[in-house]
Amino acid sequence: MALDPKIVKTLQGVSTATITTVMLKKGLRNLWIRGSKPLRPGVERVVGPAFTLRFIPAREDLATPESWGNPISTRAAVEAMERGDIAVIDAMGVTDAGCYGDILIARMAKRNVAALVTDGVVRDIEGVLSTGLPVWSQGWAAPSSVQGLTFVNWGEPIGCGGVAIFPGDVIVADKDGAVVIPQAFVDHVLEHGPEQERMEGWIMKEVERGEKLPGLYPMNVETKARYDAWKKSLPGG
């Protein structure tokens, strides 16, 4: 389910904020994964297909270190991920049990997984940061997954941070957090996202020049004309 590298490259130029704006025009308001923030402040934007994982609450006889050896386990899931995938983990918002820890995340990095996104937390913050894999989460905790969570499966529709995620949806994550682009809307974002970025960049320049906001943002007819003229003046405009 690897993404076309051209799609990845285009979306790397579109912020998560912009994606929520262009999707609003399609009536979709619920795409930002609540509570999931980058673990490392200066992180670069990542783009990739969602590889989903699902947990349910812990039951003492199931959620044990022994369960880690099962054929359906958090370990086996890692081996099923592909280069460029973004693992999206439904941890039901649990913040006192780390759904993934440094060893599994190191293996994900080794397998060239692009990132990990969860509404839960990771474990062993120092080790996780040392793997270099970009992580978006509610933070971190010392306890392991089995202290609060039972792993169920990968490759299923999940909820994450109050948002519906289907396997193969496209995830974009940056300093503002992580958003999902449902598969059927990727073309919409590819078409309108870069233009929205260009327009907002031009408006920001106008603000820096001292322009007032009314009439500028959103643009009135006159401003629109000025903007269109500027666009035409661009190389290839």
* Subset of residues 198 to 217 that bind a copy of itself, contact rule: CB under 8 A: 200, 203-204, 207-208, 210, 212-214, 217
Residue from 12, 127, 168, 223 touching a copy of itself (CB under 8 A): that is 127
Residues 1-60 that bind a copy of itself (CB under 8 A): 15-17, 19-21, 24-32, 34, 37, 56-60
Residue from 9, 112, 195, 218 touching a copy of itself (CB under 8 A): that is 218
> What kind and span of H or E run contains 226?
helix 221-233
Neighbours of 127 (CB within 10 A): 14
Neighbours of 221 (CB within 10 A): 7
| C-alpha distance from residue 235 to each of 131, 206, 227, 230 (Å) | 42, 20, 15, 10
Residue 123 in the binding site for a copy of itself (CB under 8 A)? yes
Residue 118 in the binding site for a copy of itself (CB under 8 A)? no
According to DSSP, residue 144 is labeled B
Region from 4-12, 147-155, 187-195, 221-229 binding a copy of itself, contact rule CB under 8 A:
147-155
Region from 4-12, 81-89, 159-167, 187-195 binding a copy of itself, contact rule CB under 8 A:
159-167
Residue 144 in the binding site for a copy of itself (CB under 8 A)? yes
Encoded amino acid at 217, one letter: Y
CB of 131 to a copy of itself, least distance (A): 9
Which one, 5 or 210, has the nearer CB to a copy of itself? 210
Residue from 10, 12, 62, 167 touching a copy of itself (CB under 8 A): that is 62
Residue with tokens 């269109």: 228
DSSP-derived pairing of the beta strands 121-123 and 98-101: parallel
Per the CB < 8 A criterion, the answer to whether 76 and 51 are in contact is no
Residue 224 in the binding site for a copy of itself (CB under 8 A)? no
Which one, 5 or 177, has the nearer CB to a copy of itself? 177
Nearest to 118 by CA among 101, 138, 141: 138
Cis peptide before 182 (omega within 30 of 0): no
| C-alpha distance from residue 144 to each of 99, 105, 147, 220 (Å) | 7, 13, 6, 55
Residue from 39, 114, 125, 170 touching a copy of itself (CB under 8 A): that is 125
